[in-house]
């Protein structure tokens, strides 16, 4: 029981791996040679001027783990990094506006760099808004009488209110929106002062607000969503920080009808694709499956370094391969299916019955419910073509992970992007019916 319990906890699906974690597996070669150090890191290191980049991929594909590796890489190459998972302390992913992101950046930059610069300009900005904000800061004390530490802590109270108290959002957002120019000006002067006082070995400041890809799209009319509003309509504010910034964005935005405008503002978003578990001809892809097997092995071997995966953890290699195939190369789904399969048994090895039950639970409990009745035909089209039209309905399927993005390299080593449906959807009767209709009409 202790063995299965200890291994079960090594497959926590929601904890990103810190840099240099022994469980990390480099999957670049089965992700179209994706390399965050080259594509994002060197842009920052080589640039004399501040840069603003976008990073995206499906939720749960491993972006946070890669960004934590990027943080370590940048720190080792002359950068002071302010990394923060925005949805854990600053924003509510169900209801986000650009003001929330600006305030979150302000709070985290101030907290991480206050030892290197005076916060007075930012505190002056707060004092000017104190009449409207003091009730939200849970203080009856006049601003001037607060200690410096208490004044700085007001920013934290405001972001907490934004995330947890919906009734407070309008007041906070109105103050930030109406006075965003002066807030960003004060923040930039704070950044510039800190820049001068940082050790020479940390010559560049980099801000990485993670988890913004989780922001749920809200329709704004005219085929635009809150994603367009935040990252395009208010791009002047998001790109105004006088330091390097890497924003995570929803994958559906990267392929929206606004992709050209997005590129004009930020350059092309860097995308972390799925691990390939099959090719475009629907043939099993051994290299990708080997990477998923390695992910399992590394986590298991942290508990027992000599245990055999295909005889002692699984009852045979076919059982393990089936579990890996059904993830679609989605790392979080690998973790979830492993934990689900372990819950089906009292002890190792995991048998095919346990894996089939884990697959069935995920298919019926999550993915079948994620598809609307009119979308099955669209999924059949993607399955046959390995492509998606530039259409909002297909981008919505991307956001919900019903359609997955992969990246291969062609004969000349150029990356080739393609799409497929999640394998858990392929086994549904609704999809099979839609596929049969499509084939009969071809």
Q: What is the pLDDT of residues 112-162, one digit of tens each?
A: 999 999 999 999 998 988 887 776 655 666 777 778 888 888 889 889 988
Q: Which of 24, 424, 420, 87 is nearest to 250 (CA)?
A: 87
Angle (nearest 5°) at CA 303 between 13 and 323? 45
d(CA 289, CA 301) in angstroms, rounded, equals 18
3-state secondary structure of 152: helix
- State yes or no: pLDDT of 396 exceeds 60: yes
Of the listed ranges 27-36, 133-142, 351-360, 413-422, the least confidently predicted one is: 133-142
Q: Is residue 337 packed enough to be buried (19+ CB in 10 Å), middle (13-18) or exposed (0-12)?
A: buried
Q: How high is the pLDDT of residue 139? A: 60
Of the listed ranges 16-30, 53-67, 253-267, the least confidently predicted one is: 253-267
Q: How high is the pLDDT of residue 231? A: 96
Say what percent of the chain tops pLDDT 70: 98
Concatenated DSSP letters for 370-436?
A: TS-GGGHHHHHHHHHHS---S-HHHHHHHHTTSEEEEEEE-TTS-EEEEEEE-HHHHTSHHHHHHHH
Of the listed ranges 15-29, 352-366, 395-409, the least confidently predicted one is: 395-409
pLDDT, tens digit (0-9, with 9 covering 90-100), for 63-86? 999 999 999 999 999 999 999 999
- State yes or no: pLDDT of 275 exceeds 60: yes
pLDDT, tens digit (0-9, with 9 covering 90-100), for 155-192? 898 899 888 988 889 989 999 999 999 999 999 999 99
For residue 402, give both structure tokens: 């019903």
d(CA 61, CA 274) in angstroms, rounded, equals 6
Q: Please, what are the domains in the chain?
A: 1-30+274-442 (no CATH), 35-272 (3.40.50)
Q: Which of 249, 227, 325, 229 is nearest to 282 (CA)?
A: 325
Q: How high is the pLDDT of residue 369? A: 93
d(CA 271, CA 373) in angstroms, rounded, equals 29
d(CA 270, CA 9) in angstroms, rounded, equals 31
For residue 266, give both structure tokens: 């930020």
3-state secondary structure of 82: strand
- Distance from the Cα of residue 410 to its chain's centroid: 27
Q: How high is the pLDDT of residue 183? A: 96
Q: How high is the pLDDT of residue 140? A: 63
Q: Are 99 and 231 in contact (CB under 8 A)?
A: no
* Alpha helices (H) in 48-179, listed in sequence order: 63-75, 86-89, 98-113, 120-128, 130-133, 148-164, 166-178
Give the predicted TM-score (pTM) of the model: 0.94
At 359, is the pLDDT very low, low, confident or very high (cuts 50, 70, 90)? very high
403-416 in b/e form (b: 16+ CB < 10 A) is bbbbbbeeeeeeee
Q: How high is the pLDDT of residue 200? A: 83
Q: How high is the pLDDT of residue 138? A: 56
Considering the chain, what is the average pLDDT of its residues? 93
Per-residue pLDDT, averaged over 98-121, amounts to: 96
Q: How high is the pLDDT of residue 389? A: 86
Which residue reads 């694709």 in tokens?
273
Q: How high is the pLDDT of residue 148? A: 85
Rounded to the nearest 10°, the torsion over CA 344, 23, 209, 217 is: -30
Sheet order of strands, 244-248 included: 79-85, 204-210, 244-248, 52-57, 270-272
Question: How is the chain split among helix, strand and coil, in percent rounded to 5?
Answer: 55, 10, 30
d(CA 302, CA 296) in angstroms, rounded, equals 10
How many H helices and E strands in the chain?
Answer: 23, 9
At 259, is the pLDDT very low, low, confident or very high (cuts 50, 70, 90)? confident
Q: How high is the pLDDT of residue 412? A: 84
d(CA 238, CA 249) in angstroms, rounded, equals 12
């Amino acid at each position: 029981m202790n063995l299965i319990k200890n291994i079960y906890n090594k497959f926590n699906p929601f904890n990103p791996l810190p840099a240099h974690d022994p469980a990390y597996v480099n999957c670049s070669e089965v992700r179209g040679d994706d390399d965050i150090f080259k594509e994002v890191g060197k842009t920052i290191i080589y640039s004399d001027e501040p840069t603003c980049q976008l990073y995206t991929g499906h939720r749960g594909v491993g972006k946070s783990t890669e960004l934590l590796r990027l943080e370590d890489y940048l720190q080792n190459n002359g950068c002071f990094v302010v990394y923060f998972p925005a949805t854990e302390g600053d924003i509510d992913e169900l209801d986000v506006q650009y003001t929330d992101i600006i305030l979150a950046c302000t709070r985290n930059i101030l907290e991480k760099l206050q030892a290197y610069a005076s916060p007075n300009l930012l505190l002056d900005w707060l004092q000017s808004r104190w009449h409207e904000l003091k009730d939200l800061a849970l203080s009856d004390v006049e601003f001037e009488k607060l200690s410096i530490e208490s004044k700085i802590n007001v920013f934290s109270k405001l972001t907490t209110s934004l995330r947890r108290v919906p009734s407070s959002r309008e007041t906070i957002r109105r103050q930030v929106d109406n006075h965003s120019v002066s807030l960003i000006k004060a923040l930039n002067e704070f950044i510039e002062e800190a820049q001068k006082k940082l050790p020479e070995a940390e010559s560049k400041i980099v801000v990485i607000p993670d988890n913004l890809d989780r922001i749920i799209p809200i329709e704004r009319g005219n085929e635009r969503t809150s994603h367009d509003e935040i990252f395009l309509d208010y791009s002047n504010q998001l790109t105004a920080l006088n330091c390097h910034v890497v924003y995570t964005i929803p994958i559906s935005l990267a392929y929206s009808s606004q992709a050209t405008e997005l590129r004009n503002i930020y350059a092309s978003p860097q995308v972390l694709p799925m691990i390939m578990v099959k090719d475009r001809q629907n043939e099993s892809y051994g290299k990708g499956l080997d990477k998923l097997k390695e992910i399992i092995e590394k986590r298991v071997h942290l508990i027992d370094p000599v245990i055999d995966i295909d005889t002692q953890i699984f009852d045979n290699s076919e059982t393990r391969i089936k579990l890996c195939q059904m993830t679609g190369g989605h790392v979080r789904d690998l973790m979830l299916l492993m934990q689900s399969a372990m819950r089906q048994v009292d002890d190792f090895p995991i048998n095919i019955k346990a894996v089939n039950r884990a697959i069935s639970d995920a298919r019926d409990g999550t993915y079948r419910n994620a598809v609307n009745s009119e979308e099955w035909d669209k999924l059949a089209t993607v399955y046959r073509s390995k492509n998606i039209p530039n259409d909002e309905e297909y981008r919505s399927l991307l956001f919900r992970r019903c359609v997955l993005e992969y990246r291969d390299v062609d004969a000349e080593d150029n990356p080739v992007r393609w799409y497929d449906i999640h394998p858990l959807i392929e086994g549904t009767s609704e999809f099979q019916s839609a596929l049969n209709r499509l084939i009969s009409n071809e």
